[in-house]
Amino acid sequence: MKLIINKLQYILLSFFICTSLVSCFPKYEDLEAEEAAKIDKYLRDNPAIQFDLKSSGLYYRDIVLGTGIAPVTGDTVYIFYTGTFLDGTLIETNVGKNDTLKAALNKKQLIEGLDEAVSYMKVGGKSNLLIPSKLAYGSTGNYYSVPGFTPMLFDIQLIKVKQMFAGK
């Protein structure tokens, strides 16, 4: 009988500890709201930057309109990029390096926000982006340097497009 009570006490204690720990973590909705507040603050603090808010939630702004071809799904795009946090802290860049980022458009080789942005561009174009986490690394982050629910800024330049079908 004592063994059964000890097991029951152990189970109840474990349940209490687990529920207590879970209640200490922020809720998904709270983290989403915090991210939205960060984006709103950034936009208020930088009124000179006028983004076009796309239906996906991507904030997009052309800096230089390209005059070359526009990529379509499956084309290989070559881009230079710089990604930062909203406070300007550098995440990653390939600017100043010899190699552009090469990826097939809309084939899940880029984060969703970059894929979408590049699809609006033509070769030679430069754009600024504010990418919410749902179009980047989501609620989990990228396990290296970007935590979950983190919006990012990108400057991108479309250098070249290799068309998927030569008959275009």
Question: Exposed, middle or buried: residue 131 (CB in 10 Å: 0-12, 13-18, 19+)?
Answer: buried
Average pLDDT value for the chain: 88
Residue 105 sits in a domain of what CATH number?
3.10.50.40
Q: How confident is the model at residue 167 (pLDDT cuts 50, 70, 90)?
A: low
Cα of 158 vs its chain's centroid, Å: 18
Q: Are 94 and 100 in contact (CB under 8 A)?
A: yes
**Is residue 1 one of the residues assigned to a domain?**
no
Structural domain span for residue 62? 26-162
At residue 149, what is the residue type? F
**% pLDDT > 90, the chain:** 74
Query: Phi, psi (5° rounding) for residue 103?
Result: -155, 150
pLDDT in tens, 14-66: 665 655 544 555 687 888 999 999 999 999 999 999 999 999 999 999 999 99
pLDDT at 3 over 50: no
Q: Are 131 and 113 in contact (CB under 8 A)?
A: yes
Q: How many domains, in total, are found in the chain?
A: 1
